[in-house]
A and B are shown apart, each in its own frame.
Chain A
Amino acid sequence: MEMNQYLDLFIEESKEHLQNCNDLLLKLEQSPEDLFIVNEIFRSAHTLKGMSATMEFNDLAQLTHQMENVLDLIRNEKLAVSSQVLDILFLAADYLEEMVESIASGGNGQLNVETVVKQLQSLDGKEQLENVNAPETVQFGKLTYDDYEWTVLSQSKDTDYHPFEVTVQLHKDCLLKAVRVFMVFETLEKNGEIIKSHPQATALEEEQFDFEFTVTILSSNTKEEIEMELLKISEIDAVEIIAIDLSQASEEAAVAVEQVVLPTEKEVEVTQQQTSSFKQQSKHATKTIRVNIERLDILMNLFEELVIDRGRLLQISQDLDHQGLQETVEHMSRISGDLQNIILNMRMVPIDTVFNRFPKMVRQLAKDLHKSVNLEIIGAQTELDRTVIDEIGDPLVHLIRNAMDHGIEKPEERIAKGKSQQGTIILKAYHSGNHIFIEITDDGAGINKDNVCRKAISKGIIKEEEIASMEDQDIYQLIFSSGFSTAKEISDVSGRGVGLDVVKSTIESLGGYVTIQSNEGNGSTFSIQLPLTLSIISAMLVEVENEKYAIPLSSIIETAIIKKADIMKTHNQQVIDFRGKVVPLVSLQSIFEVNDESEEIPETLSVVIVRKGEKLAALIVSSFIGQQEIVLKSLGDYLTNVFAISGATILGDGQVALIIDCNELIK
């Protein structure tokens, strides 16, 4: 059978299910009692099994099958969720991931799963022993009650409601049994609250019983009253009502516990039904289709053409002054505005797709390092462009590993320092202006500046005399130098001196920065600033002579008009006094070599005050055009490293305007 066409789909879906499993396993670790979670994991594992069996990846199917067995035991409360069980499940998930990866990279997904299968089977076997004293059910009269039901019944003692077991015998010739059942239930509901029925309500509805069924109710009415009511229904032969004596029952219960009462198949069904309704409430799985990014790019380019034509059409309709035309064009403008938002948002992906693999990584790493670490994730829904998402994963892995290995101390050490035994790493993402910030904060040892300096000198990264003039930030940045590693012992987690320099170069290649704040003894924060590439940015359009340029609004502080007399000179540099600060004056005209006839400086100058961090500069322009939302585009592969130009955008009239990179203009 030709499977290739399904392979991509299989891989994608498997990854999703595995991710889901991992997330849920972590949740289960937090709340081991929660059977809903177990059910969800079961569901994912089951789907995975089915898919891999269809695709004939037998190892994958075998392993998921074993996993499913263990999960089934947990879900039927025959196996307690212990950390040992979780470890094996995590291990199994790791193996599954490895196999899916192997399939994705063209392999056959075969892997020796024997060890982990054995481990899973050993859990499977242990169940037999635990089974004996596992079920905590109470039997009374004809029915068996589980913990929950029993609690409800016991609580009724304090109220006016009394528990009864109602057994109804239908007439042998009864044709529409379900109807009678319905009528009985309706009558009982009028009298009180139905707790349980045997057989299950669904089975009763489907007439899967002979002629007798039992219902447990709580009612404030007397036995006789209920009996009277029920006998009014036709085709009922007999009604037997027993009041449940709770005190007696609880004595019996003690005896009953020793009896092994296996939950019947039907009860399992109920829990399943409960969970499925729970799932529907909690999570509406969003339907998605996968689209090649390239197609989205093409769509966006075409759409921009449409926007340009829209502008022209708008102009024409105004010139013609035809009302019908104008209304249509306006309507079209609104629609294309909405369309624009949708298209731009399509390329945005929540950063969760990167973050979601970290909890498991941290868990494993904490085990390997014998540290206790709690990972907090804030802002996982922050969206950024797909292209950035693809690149940011590895640097973040490095930084988290670094924080765990070098930042967070060993538990003993932490206690000695008066900190809580468990370290905390906070991973936080948020938008600010046209940037996204990702912060990795740990409450570990922080960075020892002297150690860093000494190390950097011994590695020949800096010279001793340079240190005096270095600010804290410069010293911290040293740890990003290649060949730098401060850990005393080399672990395989980090400390090989590769990694952090890669982090810095990757982030810089994306047009971002890494900064470090550290408080020795109290931890460090690594802050990554990244641009939201390929998204719309707000920009100020300016004219330099007859050329149009766009300056990103995020770097503009304000615009001003200055007088020629205000210009001062220091060291061959023209400066102005801007709100008490001396700000260098930068002539865009000379930097961009725009043709200029008049060498004269006019009496008044229009300037745009821009900033890079704390530093300011005033850019001289000929005139301001106005603020506009622009789409950032690259200049292509052919023109690279153009000085002070970060890209280009297409204006309403179809012309191209270059976007000024203020960071390069400020030294």
Chain B
Amino acid sequence: MENKQHTVQLIVFQLGDKEYGVPVADVLSIEKIEHITRVPGTEKYIKGVINLRGVILPIVDLRTRFNLPEHPYSEHTRIIITKKGEKEVGLIVDAANDVIDVATSQLEPPPEVVGTESFDYIKAVAKMNQQILILIDLAKVLNIEENVEV
């Protein structure tokens, strides 16, 4: 924020062939995939819970959440541990690639054309060279009903 050109730091991750971003401030760590214990009777996108250094942490599969086809976990699969308010949740992504600085001026509101449901979770899009980076809205992804600052 000290920069005259306001920037946000984003963690870039991949789902299918698209790249997504989530603010570094909301991320606690990035973990390799490990054994997930299924929790019965929960939403389909909640894969279960893991033991992260002694803390039980719920895990959301973003592919399922965004209605993308399921994909077997590979060595690139990562769990991004996020924190929104008091709630800590891990997100399963295909790969977590990079940390980048994006100028706020580069962020644009999501396109109006509503194609799929998953557009709800898009906070903004950023044009990066040839690629388009989708900034996700964590609160909406996690279905946290809170007043999130705009």
Contact = CB atoms under 8 A, between A and B. Distances in A.
Contacts of A592: 40-41
Interface string A289-322: 0000000000011111100000000000000000
B56 A648 contact: yes
A453 interface: no
B31 to A, nearest CB: 13
Contact of A655 (B42, B51, B53, B57): B51
Interface string A545-563: 0011000000000000000
Contact of A304 (B49, B54, B86): B54
Contact of A305 (B39, B49, B50, B54): B54
Contacts of A300: 54
Contacts of A657: 37
Given A301-B54, A656-B50, A643 B41 contact: yes
A631 to B, nearest CB: 9
Contacts of B58: 635-636, 638-639
B127 interface: no
Nearest to A656: B37
B10 interface: no
B49 A656 contact: yes
Interface in B1-46: 34-35, 37-42, 46
Nearest to B41: A643
Interface in B49-67: 49-51, 53-58
B133 interface: no
Given A637-B86, A655-B35, A593 B40 contact: yes
Nearest to A303: B54
Contact residues on A (Cβ < 8 Å of other chain), bracket: 20 to 34
Contacts of A637: 86-88
Interface in A645-667: 645, 648, 650, 654-658
A102 to B, nearest CB: 30
Contacts of A658: 37, 39-40, 49
Contact of A645 (B39, B51, B86): B39
Identify whether the interface residues of B are mostly helix, strand, loop, or mixed. Answer: strand
A285 to B, nearest CB: 35
B122 interface: no
A548 to B, nearest CB: 8
Given A300-B54, A656-B51, A639 B37 contact: no
A299 to B, nearest CB: 10
A51 B25 CA distance: 44
Interface in B76-131: 86-89
A305 B56 CA distance: 12
A565 interface: no
A591 interface: yes
A547 to B, nearest CB: 7
A453 B50 CA distance: 50
Contact of B37 (A301, A547, A634, A638): A547
Contacts of A644: 41
A642 B87 contact: no
Contact of A638 (B34, B40, B54, B89): B89
Contact of B53 (A305, A594, A636): A305
Contact of A301 (B34, B40, B50, B55): B55
A302 B39 contact: no
A302 B53 CA distance: 7
Contacts of B54: 300-305, 650
A654 B50 CA distance: 9
A633 interface: yes
Contacts of B50: 656
Interface residues of B, number: 24
B142 A638 contact: yes
A643 B41 CA distance: 6
Contact of A654 (B49, B51, B89): B51
A648 B88 CA distance: 16
Nearest to A306: B54
Contact of A636 (B34, B35, B42, B87): B87
A636 B49 CA distance: 10
Interface in A577-592: 591-592
Nearest to A633: B56
A657 B37 CA distance: 7
Contacts of B49: 635-636, 639, 648, 656, 658
A644 B142 CA distance: 23
Given A301-B55, A305-B53, A656-B56, A636 B88 contact: yes
Contacts of B41: 592-593, 642-645
Contacts of B35: 654-656
A656 B50 CA distance: 6
Contacts of A638: 58, 87-89, 142
B37 A636 contact: no
Interface in A608-654: 633-639, 642-645, 648, 650, 654
A16 B139 CA distance: 44
Contacts of A303: 54
Residue among B51, B87, B88, B142 with the highest chain A CB neighbour number at 10 A: B51
Given A645-B39, A656-B49, A656-B50, A650 B87 contact: no
A265 to B, nearest CB: 62
A638 B88 CA distance: 7
A574 B88 CA distance: 41
A153 B89 CA distance: 81
Contacts of A591: 40
A258 B89 CA distance: 84
B26 to A, nearest CB: 14
B10 to A, nearest CB: 23
A636 B39 CA distance: 13
A134 B48 CA distance: 78
A609 B41 CA distance: 23
A301 B55 CA distance: 7
A301 B57 CA distance: 13
Contacts of B51: 650, 654-656
Given A305-B54, A639-B49, A648 B37 contact: yes
Contacts of A645: 39-41
A644 B58 CA distance: 17
Contacts of A643: 40-41
B51 to A, nearest CB: 5
Given A654-B51, A655-B51, A636 B56 contact: yes
22 contacts: A300-B54, A302-B53, A302-B54, A548-B37, A591-B40, A593-B40, A593-B41, A594-B40, A636-B56, A636-B57, A638-B58, A639-B42, A639-B46, A642-B39, A643-B41, A645-B41, A648-B37, A648-B49, A654-B34, A655-B37, A656-B35, A658-B40
Given A302-B54, A592-B41, 12 more contacts: A301-B55, A634-B56, A635-B39, A635-B58, A637-B88, A639-B39, A639-B42, A655-B35, A656-B48, A656-B49, A656-B50, A658-B39
Closest 7 CB pairs between A and B? A301-B54, A592-B40, A656-B37, A304-B54, A643-B41, A638-B87, A638-B58
Interface of A: 300-305, 547-548, 591-594, 633-639, 642-645, 648, 650, 654-658
